[in-house]
Amino acid sequence: MVRNKKALAWVDEMAALCQPDKIEWINGTEEERQRLTDIAIETGEMHLLNQDKLPGCLLHRTAQNDVARTEKLTFICTREEKDAGPINNWMDPKEAYAKVGEMFKGSMKGKTMYVIPFIMGVPGSPFRKIGIEITDSIYVVLNMRIMTRMGDIAADDLGDDEEFTKCLHCRGELDINRRFILHFPEDNTIWSYGSGYGGNVLLGKKCLALRIASYLGLHEDWMAEHMLILGLEKDGETTYICAAFPSACGKTNLAMLIPPDAFPGYKVTTVGDDISWLRIGPDGRLWAINPEYGFFGVAPGTSYKTNPNAMDTVKKNTIFTNVLLTNDNCVWWEGMTEEAPKEGIDWTGKHWHSDSGEKGAHPNSRFTAPAEQCPSISPEFNNPKGVPISAILFGGRRAKLAPLVYETFNWQHGTFVGATMASETTAAATGQVGVVRRDPMAMRPFVGYNMATYFKHWLDMGKKIAHKPKIFHVNWFRQDADGHFLWPGYGDNLRVLDWIIRRCKGEGDAVETPIGYVPTKDAIPLQGLDITDEAMGELLSVHRDDWLEELDGMKNYFDQFGNDLPYEFVEEQQELRKRLGAWDK
């Protein structure tokens, strides 16, 4: 039971605002899960799937205007506009509370208000943070049950006077003109109104574990990052890597990678697939925890070929959102099997035929699955101290320019490379897909304060970490002139990780180029891989003119930060220009 007086008073206050018929504190028991599932099935909010083939699995369809994170409707509400910075949408907190408060007023009349205490991180760990989410949606309760450690375990963990994040959600009318995802970092508060889509409503995830946590990290000397965490085990020794890729660019696949048969000797273990909280340990190294308890993964493209561990994870106790319902009451999505089922019910609830030319599952359809069901889950998953990080990877989807992999010269240069990351947009957010946009550290939509201050925080952290991880950039998506991918990706990415961990140990051959250390052609193990010398050459090439053009793009991007841009980034641009000038390729 929650004893924290501030929490009890806040719940009373929100109940007075939303005026529910009933208030139910969520305790996290199995009895509760079953009861709420039965109600959701009865009301049609959830659909019970084939329990012989998919035990404990449910299907949910969101409104058609509500299928991805809505960045346009996501706001950082700091008292001063400059503290939100030029990238975030900003709203004055007074205006935000008043405007959206009107929407919340009476919004739960006739409904039950569920109160979910939850933990991001491991119970009892000094690194964990506690939140309380109020919601009127059973879908949210059941998802939060998978994605966080919640209920009594969180209520008991919350100290009597401890701070917690106040998260308020109501589905409202599901009208995009009355949809707001508001963050008040100075009040440790999140308000989400008018949506039922995961990233907008599972408030522990993007809203708390990234936007609010990044703000807390700035003030408490740690970092909240959009990064997977994996362990790479060889000869009994495990090296841990964090990797930041934008949404729907393969973090879940890399975190669960299975080594190709032709390149044995390694085992990959999964600590997290989306979010890392990074702190300096007493040994001067950077330690990472995954604050989440489940995976909220993109379904399309996930198959026994691309990610067998994910497929095995979602066989039971999983909530599927916006996928195709098959005739045998199971699920399917594009890319799951080579052959599509002939027909089914699509993500909009309509009859679907494989010849229709329409997608059966929405491109951003999802699975929510317990992390501990993953066959590759790390034995360190529940370790409150986390794992020590040897390498940080940045990467995006870039058809041209960025080589398969390169190592940056040092932390400052690596921070600059992360800050200049760019990627083609995906279906994970609303808006046009496939457009190249700058996405610093894959955090463009997730920094809860001024991005220029975030860059400085990275640089400052670097000065405090005695034993810094090395920083690399990877690009699995480089294409040839005809638009074919040059690198096979998926399990074969292990070959690149092999070079990376050898570099961390002072091994692995590389040539110094203006952008960093690029592997020599034979430094990446290629046994059993059908790839031409020419393709490898193209994958590892650095073209001076392309990079000079890129420098202009970087400058344009950085200009929006004005004098807030750390001087180190001006230096890095100058140094890169100088190195390119002296380069003869």
Q: Could you give the residue numbers annotated as active site?
A: 249
As measured in angstroms, the least distance from the Cβ of 444 to ligand OXD is 11
Name which position in 274, 292, 334, 380 contacts Mn ion (CB under 5 A): 274
Contact between 196 and ligand OXD per CB under 6 A: no
Q: Which residues have CB under 8 Å from 125's CB, separation 6+?
A: 289, 384, 385
Contact between 247 and ligand OXD per CB under 6 A: yes
Contact between 189 and Mn ion per CB under 5 A: no
Q: Which residues have CB under 8 Å from 256's CB, separation 6+?
A: 268, 270, 273, 307, 309, 310, 313, 374, 376
| Residue (211 or 470) nearer to ligand OXD, CB | 211
As measured in angstroms, the least distance from the Cβ of 496 to Mn ion is 21
| Residue (142 or 565) nearer to ligand OXD, CB | 142
Name which position in 74, 78, 143, 247 contacts Mn ion (CB under 5 A): 247
Whether the CB-CB separation of 59 and 51 falls below 8 Å is answered with: no
Q: Which residues have CB under 8 Å from 423's CB, separation 6+?
A: 245, 246, 249, 396, 397, 398, 436, 437, 439, 442
Contact between 290 and Mn ion per CB under 5 A: no
The interface mask with ligand OXD, positions 398-437, x = CB under 6 A, is ------------------------------x---------
As measured in angstroms, the least distance from the Cβ of 3 to ligand OXD is 33
- Return the H-helix or E-strand segment holding 64: none
Name which position in 33, 60, 61, 69 contacts ligand OXD (CB under 6 A): 69
The interface mask with ligand OXD, positions 262-281, x = CB under 6 A, is ------------x-------
508 binds, among Mn ion, ligand OXD, none (CB under 5 to 8 A by kind): none
Whether the CB-CB separation of 154 and 331 falls below 8 Å is answered with: no
Q: How far apart are CA 186 and CA 195, in angstroms?
A: 24
Name which position in 104, 296, 406, 517 contacts ligand OXD (CB under 6 A): 296
| Residue (195 or 247) nearer to ligand OXD, CB | 247
> What is the footprint of ligand OXD within residues 104-123 (CB under 6 A)?
none
Find the distance separating the first CA and the last CA of the chain, reported in whole Å: 66
| Residue (104 or 245) nearer to Mn ion, CB | 245
Q: How far apart are CA 116 and CA 330, in angstroms?
A: 30
As measured in angstroms, the least distance from the Cβ of 275 to ligand OXD is 8
Q: What is the DSSP letter of 319?
A: E
Name which position in 28, 121, 172, 199 contacts ligand OXD (CB under 6 A): 199
Q: How far apart are CA 431 and CA 582, in angstroms?
A: 40
Whether the CB-CB separation of 182 and 192 falls below 8 Å is answered with: yes
- Return the H-helix or E-strand segment holding 9: helix 5-18
Burial class (CB within 10 angstroms; exposed 0-12, middle 13-18, buried 19+) of 22: exposed
Residue ranges binding ligand OXD (CB under 6 A):
69, 199, 247, 274, 296, 428
Residue ranges binding Mn ion (CB under 5 A):
247, 274
